[in-house]
Amino acid sequence: MSITTTTHINLRGDARAALELYRDVFGGELTVVTYGDAHAAQDPAEADQVMWGQVVSPDGFHVMAYDVPAAQPWSPGENPYFVSVRGASAEEISGLWERLSARSTVVVPLAPAGWAPLYGMLRDPFGVVWVLDVAVAYDAS
């Protein structure tokens, strides 16, 4: 198995600044995909906001963050993070999804996405939101 779990912080309009701070503090590489980059901006004013971002350092620090779109409810302290589980293969993520979704509420069904071969989101019986996906290198081109 080759999965990792990562804290995925949910913000509104501050994800880039937060990720830059974490990069400055912990070192590592910053990757940011905006809603505009992914052609997924529902509101043109949010095109430069972070749809997916992360900081990964060579010593093992890893954090992800995104800007919750204005069309979705968000309040600091309510659903402030996801647990992100990233795997190397579709088979690995599908097996984990099957076991975790059996007792959870599916938010986004596990399916191919524009940034990953598989992506899905669910809320477990304890209220924790899990994001599972197959990890691939981001290609900005």
**Structure confidence by residue, pLDDT tens digits, 97-129:** 999 899 899 999 999 988 889 999 999 887 888
Domain range holding 96? Answer: 4-134
Residue 77 domain-assigned (yes or no)? yes
Collapsing DSSP to helix, strand or coil, 105 comes out as: strand
Residue 41's pLDDT is 92
**117 part of a folded domain:** yes
pLDDT at 42: 92
Which pLDDT belongs to residue 119? 95
Please state the length of the chain: 141
3-state helix, strand, coil in the chain (%, to 5): 20, 40, 40
Q: How far from chain centre, in Å, is Cα 29?
A: 16
Looking at the 3D structure of the chain, how many domains does it have?
1
88 falls within a domain: yes
**Does the residue 124 lie in any domain?**
yes
Specify if 140 maps to a domain.
no
Residue 139 lies in a domain: no
Q: Which residues are CB-contacts of 24 (< 8 A; sequence separation ≥ 6)? A: none
Residue 50, in any domain of the structure: yes
Per-residue confidence (pLDDT) for residue 86, from 0 to 100: 86
CB atoms near residue 85 (< 10 Å):
20
The whole-number pLDDT of residue 79 equals 72
Identify the pLDDT of residue 17.
93
Q: Which residues in the chain come in under a pLDDT of 70? A: 1, 138, 140-141
- 14 within domain boundaries: yes
Q: Would the pTM count as exceeding 0.75?
A: no
Q: Note whether 124 and 103 are within 8 A (CB).
A: yes
Question: Which CATH number belongs to the domain containing residue 73 in this structure?
Answer: 3.10.180.10
